[in-house]
Amino acid sequence: MIERLAGRPVIPVIVIEDANDAEPLAEALLAGGLDVIEVTFRTAAAPAALARIIRTFPEMLAGAGTVVTREQAQRCVDLGVSFGVAPGFNPETVRLFQGNGIPFIPGVLSPSEIESAFGVGCTLLKFFPAGAAGGPKMLKALAGPYSSLGVRFCPTGGVSVDNMNEYLSLPEVFAVGGSWIASKRQIAEKQWSAITRQTREAVARAKEVAR
Ligand code: 3PG
């Protein structure tokens, strides 16, 4: 799973208010060339939306984002998500996922946090909030000492089609994440063709970077 995840250069970070939008949203992403999705647990609709995507599109890597409590982590395991993501590092949620054989991508912003997460077996980490924390320059400096350990990062927070390749050019970056590919407003307004267009654009842009 970690290898599969690391092969996807762009992870759409989704905030979905209505679980009925789950299937058309997944279809819009697939049509644009992306078979990965991170549905954030920031809305009441998130678990139902994930369940629908997992049932209807088993070929998709359907992960849960903003997994910050033990209860949410257990819910994710019960749903059969492909991976979990959080803005921070919580050893309890990481353990729960790992105990069920599901990769977890905790958020980090400092060397100590990287070492704590790596120490419990996490090798894919989220660099969040990437833009506000100093962008590609900060990530390059932060990731450098850990390169040889095989730790790799997914920056999110302030990533866009215009700056994504500054991150993807760093060897320690396995993917970028962001809400720009399918914004909360576009999902609520069912702008599926715009989402497909943005997905296609992001996939094409990622291909410009030799990896
Ligand atoms: C996340 O949860 O990863 C971020 O909130 C996404 O940030 P963005 O909206 O700036 O892409």
140 φ, ψ to 5°? Answer: -60, -45
Distance CA 160, CA 182 (A): 11
In a domain, 53, yes or no: yes
**3 state SS of 33:** coil
- Which numbered atom of ligand 1 lies nearest the CA of 128? 3
In a domain, 211, yes or no: no
Q: pLDDT tens for residues 55-86?
A: 999 999 999 999 999 999 999 999 999 999 99
CATH number at residue 170: 3.20.20.70
DSSP-assigned letters across all residues of 48-104: HHHHHHHHH-TTSEEEEE---SHHHHHHHHHHT-SEEE-SS--HHHHHHHHHTT--E
Whether the CB of 155 sits within 6 Å of ligand 1? no
DSSP 173: B
In a domain, 54, yes or no: yes
Q: What residue ranges of the chain have pLDDT lower than 50?
A: none
Average model confidence (pLDDT) across the chain: 96
- Ligand 1 center from residue 112 Cα (angstroms): 22
Range of the domain at 156: 2-206
**3 state SS of 10:** strand
The residues annotated as belonging to the active site are 38, 126
| Closest C-alpha to 138, from 189, 181, 172 | 172
Domain count, the chain: 1
